[in-house]
Homo-oligomer: A and B are copies of this chain.
Amino acid sequence: MAEEEFRVTPWEVSGKVDYDKLRREFGTGVIDDGMRERIKRICGELHPMLSRGFFFSQRDLKLVLDDYEAKKGFFLYTGRGPSGPMHIGHLVPLLFTKWLQDKFKVNLYIEITDDEKFLFKRELSWDDVGKHSIDNILDIAAVGFDPERTFIFRDSEYIGNAYQLMLKVAKKITFSTTRAVFGFENETNIGAIFYPAYQVVPTFFEKKRCLIPNAIDQDPYWRIQRDIAESLGYLKTAAIHSKFIPPLQGISGKMSASAPESAIWLTDDEKAVKKKIMKYAFSGGQPTVEEHRRLGGNTEIDVPYQWLSILFEPSDKKLRQIHDDYASGKLLTGEIKQILVDKINEFLKEHRERKKKAEKEIERYTRNGKLATEMWERTYE
């Protein structure tokens, strides 16, 4: 594959993505300096994922900010498919979503798509999906969302409340459309074909505008929502899109659950993290120390640097120092990797402590917090 070739669909990301080209192809808007300034003015600061351009594209984000400033409000929606344990890449949009919730004080709906994963993964049993759901919900709760403003729900458990609205959504979507958007085939099972209707439903949980933080490959899903929302009396959803976290092995494609060595799992212990980063993390450094001292490292393709930039080094000043030291050859490959190892292990240690604590609080998100209580009393029509 030539360097400039890449492929981004909801079910495949390959090659080195030209994000600007992709954004133009998808027809989404940029996040420009003006928009960043406006968010900074409202929020008092900018999340590094915004200031560093990791979240780089949007649909109707201007309208979301307009609604917010006009006191109409908005709400957040994201989700997780419980097909297995979670890795660090899965947490990235959630961490950004938490920041948005903290700053805007808005409701957040997190859909656990147990039905989807059961239907799409041939080998996955319902029991396994159930176990992953419980574990994933704890990992999500550990992110620290506002328990009074957050509702985490499993599709199979909330179906009684959501089904009527789901029928109205489903009636607007043909098999042809799902074939074009999701790549469904004649041999796709009928549950999988229906599932996209459920994915749309939470965008209608409130009459306010919905904002979905997600990686850009998920955008096609929301085009269906935007096509049908107004005919059902709701607003088109807005979205804010991130780039992909590079897999350990190099900056092409995205971190994948089906290639375990490409990711750091939330359950990886300190030794495992160190081993993976040291052994697999693609380096932009030079083959020998001497050459590295002379030529310096290439931060553009250096996965440890990219991970620090996306997630693990929030301080711009420190990141700049690491950048300059690495580019000048002062910082060696083993050293930048060790910085990342320490950061990840610190992050994972804290995450696991929060996850442990979340066990006691989980029902506030799923059952009896303010928003959760309201949601279980409601039937959507």
* A binding-site residues for B, Cβ under 8 Å: 115, 118-119, 126, 156, 159-161, 163-164, 166-168, 170-176, 178-179, 184-194, 196-197, 381
Contacts and interface: CB of A to CB of B under 8 A. Distances in A.
B156 A173 contact: no
B167 A115 contact: yes
Given A156-B163, A167-B119, A167-B126, A190 B193 contact: yes
A164 B187 CA distance: 21
A115 B194 CA distance: 13
Contacts of A187: 174-176
Contacts of A191: 166-167, 170-171, 194, 197
Q: Is the interface of A mostly helix, strand, loop or mixed?
A: helix
**Which of A161, A170, A184, A187 is the most central at the interface, judged by chain B CB atoms within 10 Å of its CB?**
A170
Tell me how many chains of this kind the complex includes.
2
Contact of A159 (B159, B170, B194): B159
A189 B163 contact: no
A172 B170 CA distance: 20
Given A159-B159, A160-B160, A381-B126, A193 B175 contact: yes
Contacts of A163: 115, 156, 159-160, 163
Contacts of A175: 175, 184-190, 193
A112 to B, nearest CB: 14
Contacts of A173: 189-190
Given A115-B167, A167-B118, A381-B126, A174 B159 contact: no
5 contacts: A170-B194, A175-B184, A176-B187, A193-B194, A194-B194
Contacts of A172: 189
A231 to B, nearest CB: 13
Contacts of A192: 170-171
Contacts of A160: 159-161, 163
A175 B184 CA distance: 9
Contact of A164 (B156, B178, B197): B156
A320 B168 CA distance: 53
